[in-house]
Amino acid sequence: MVKYKFAIEIGGANTKIYVKDCGLALCEPTLVAAEPTPDGYKVIGLGLEAKKLTGKRVDSVEVFSPISNGLIENFEYCQKLLEYFFKKVEFKKKRDNVMVLVNCGLNEEEKRRYLKLLHNVGFKEVSLVPTAICSCIGAGKNISSTKTTMVVNIGGANTDIAVINMNSIVKGATLGIGGRAMDSAISHTIAYNHGIVIGLGMAETLKNEVGSLFTNDTLNMEVTGVDIETKIPRAYIITANDLYPVLEPYFAEILRAVEVTITSLPPEISTDIINSGVMFAGGLSQIAGLGDYLKKNFRFPYYIVEDADNVSILGAGKLLDDEILLNKIVENF
């Protein structure tokens, strides 16, 4: 039986590493900063250091995520980023084993890329576990039960919808809807409506600080961007009401997908879900007003887990201490 020391969640916004018997050891942005040289691109920042360059870089420096919608978009830079992260938590090459939290919608080729990536970083054994299952475990659900649990994990790059029982996913889907898409939409909307260009970093801050699904929220925040016409800095007050029409369609699309999934299930399974409620997790499930929005727009029982942003990696930490359950999940995925 394989014993695992590390669990890693390579999220669209942040990467988190859990170390057995130590806890959550790292949480840094899944970002790389690189600039061109005569011999190719040179990495000048990783993780937190790369995020500091977002919106403050010269034109020749690019800040990007090597992960897109839960998929490895740039293998080389993703490997550099993970090598940097694992160096911080002092893993032992070719001796330690790792489990990787991934989307439930990965195909076999995409799974192989994740396995190859972590082997290249230096791990002896690598196993993949669905993030949605880890979210259930982190929330205290018994995934070995014949009773079905449904989880909606709204993350930085995508949303996982999974129906789970007996240690496996009965039905699952991954939507390309997450915080990064919302950041981009906020930036474009402010430019179009107010004539101010702001960076994705400022858009993310707006989403986190002012974003709300209350229709009458009075939250507001002053932002400074570049005036499209004059090209000089200009301040403007952005309100929660400015952001509502930008954010709401994303959550409406997620709810449509959840309802389609539930109504396509056999009666015995959908009854379990209705009795227990749909579980909402992930960083974006913490947005202000989500509970009120669900009450008005979602026709099934639901609940939002506590510490929704970390529930999946904490669930992975519990799995590190339960090797029998972990191996059952790996066998079923």
The domain locations on the chain are 6-30+65-135+311-332, 144-304
The pLDDT value given to residue 36: 82
As a whole number of Å, the CA-based R_g of the chain is 21
CATH superfamily of 144-304: ATPase, nucleotide binding domain (3.30.420.40)
Convert the pLDDT of each residue in 81-128 to its tens digit: 999 999 999 999 999 999 999 999 899 999 999 999 999 999 999 999
pLDDT band at 56 (very low <50, low <70, confident <90, very high): low
Q: What is the mean pLDDT of the chain?
A: 93
CATH number 3.30.420.40 is the correct assignment for the domain at 6-30+65-135+311-332: yes
Per-residue confidence (pLDDT) for residue 38, from 0 to 100: 80
Domains 6-30+65-135+311-332 and 144-304 agree in fold:
yes
The verdict on pTM exceeding 0.95 is no
- Residue 203 has what pLDDT? 93
CA 18 to each of CA 122, 141, 313: distance values in angstroms, whole numbers, following the listed order: 17, 20, 7
pLDDT, tens only, 252-280: 999 999 999 999 999 999 999 999 999 99
Which DSSP string do the residues of 101-114 spell out, in sequence order?
EE-TT--HHHHHHH
Q: Render pLDDT for 268-316 as a digit per residue (tens, 0 to 9).
A: 999 999 999 999 999 999 999 999 999 999 999 999 999 999 999 999 9
pLDDT band at 59 (very low <50, low <70, confident <90, very high): low
